[in-house]
Structure 1
Amino acid sequence: MQYLNNFKRIYSLLYFFTLKELKERYKQAYFGFAWMLLVPIVTMATFYFIFTKIFPIEVKNYPIYLLSGLAPWFFFSNGVTQNTTALSGNANLIRKTVFPKHLLILANLNSNFFSYIFSLALISLYLIMSTGFQFRFFLYIPLSLCFFAYSFFFSAPLSYLYIKYRDIKPISDLFIFLLFYAT
């Protein structure tokens, strides 16, 4: 019974931290939560323009092809770059209360995961409209959960290292930038 109570307490704390993260990220922004979709859409439009008009390439359904690559990338890169400072940015909270510190990292990933889910919904909707419903669409669920775990296990050590070594942030930002062009 105590395990269940601890689980409820941790889950509610994670829920609270996720809402806090979402509200802080978009507070005092005119477009608010629309930025979750606006940035990936503008990036996709930019790449679409570059690779269809300036350097034309022949890819069938290029916008959906592009979105299916950019959606996980945005989730991963935003998760890593924002999570690097997740613990140090909440230092006062960490000093004043006792709770599992990794919840701050998970909350940050959760807030980025919402944007990823919206992108997956757009991709799924397009695929359902163009090819009809197929059961292989359910593969998105375990793949997304694996990707979430990968992002957590990649960004959590960086967040802990950043507390002691402040060079971690620019190094991880540079690594993410280079990784984007390497892929």
Structure 2
Amino acid sequence: MDPLTRRVRKIGKNSGRPVLPGDAGFTMVEIMAVLLAIAILTWLLLPKIQGFLGGGKVAATEESIQGLIDTAHSFAATNGNLYTGLGAKAAQGYSASTNPDLPTNYSSSGSPNPFGGSGTLTETGPYSFSVTETLIPAGACNQLVNHFLSEGSPSCSSSTFTFEGQ
């Protein structure tokens, strides 16, 4: 028996039919069926995955906003419950020696948020302050408003989240 015949018999023994050396593999129909199944699963799961990733961004932005609110309250607590001077102090950015209350990633232009915008802290009067986050998608902005509703006056306008606090 020659080697080719022996190989054909060995391969054919497992599958129930003889398979020639160039005959092994999947048919085009089988490959297309698998690709179609993968495409359908991806189409069904993509919104869930995007929601999961977006939820992480919202949570990170909530933490950033809360950090800025805490900074404002800390500033007022050490300045006779006044926010006067908060804007000038925030405009200097974080410094371990002069501005340790600001988040460490806060610069003179604010702190970056996960959506590609930035968050800034300003005084709006002697007894009030404002936190503004830019480039926030509408759905995420609505979630932020709901989250901070009990702490002050949050609002959304053209991809900008604003929190007015006292």
Q: Shared topology, TM-score over 0.5?
A: no
Tell me which protein shows more strand as a share of its residues.
2
Looking at CA atoms only, which structure, 1 or 2, has the larger radius of gyration? 2
Tell me which protein shows more helix as a share of its residues.
1
- Structure 1 length normalisation: TM-score? 0.28
- Structure 2 length normalisation: TM-score? 0.30
